[in-house]
Amino acid sequence: MDLASKRQFKTALYEQFARISRALANPHRLELLDLLTQGERTVEDLAREAALSVANASQHLQTLRTAQLVAVRREGLYAYYRLAHPRVQDLWLALRTVGETQLADLHQVIHTFLADRSQFQAIDLDGLRQRLDEEAVVLLDVRPILEYAAGHLPQARSIPIDELTARLGEVPHDQPIVAYCRGPYCVFADEAVALLTRHGYTAYRLDAGVPEWQARGYPISHA
């Protein structure tokens, strides 16, 4: 390969990688990817969760699809999107980790908007796994039921956050409760712990979610 061909090869190579970086260079598309780590969703569901119009969400999803980061299937009038490959989830987690390590502004955003979180007791994945093995906690998945059905932590009970008040009678008082949602930046678990604590429960917030659990190589349940 001569010098000109080598240069042509490198330019073409990095252009392909740049397709992915361009697709990721938008906060709405990153949020859509984050939502899709919880499981397959319709365009309408994703638009509602991300506070976008359906047309805008669809446009962003098409950009992600062009970069082969998401895939779509159609069923009747609905389009269902999912991550194109498990490595796309790994990519999002890696990007998030780099941001947490390198961006001081990110920590300021977290401190500003999640300052109240410090009042809640937290538990990490290793601590949770040990307590599950010992049958020493009740684990609540407070995400929407569709996300629970797509995959959840073993032994977790599904009580979506918007149903928790009405279903408190289903939550036993004789064991500590661990609530989890979509991951470290989801506040559903914070809301659950606050509610449970007000009603006399010993409650903890899991500082992770299903993607982080999977990244450890731990199994996911679908039953």
Residues with catalytic function: 181
Q: Is 118 exposed, middle or buried (0-12, 13-18, 19+ CB in 10 A)?
A: exposed
Residue 177, SS3 per DSSP:
strand
Q: Which helix (H) or strand (E) holds 78?
A: strand 78-83
What is the spatial distance between Cα 188 and Cα 211, in angstroms, rounded to a whole number? Answer: 16
How far, CA to CA in Å, does 64 sit from each of 56, 71, 83? 13, 9, 10
Of 32, 39, 218, nearest to 139 by C-alpha is 218
What is the spatial distance between Cα 31 and Cα 24, in angstroms, rounded to a whole number? Answer: 10
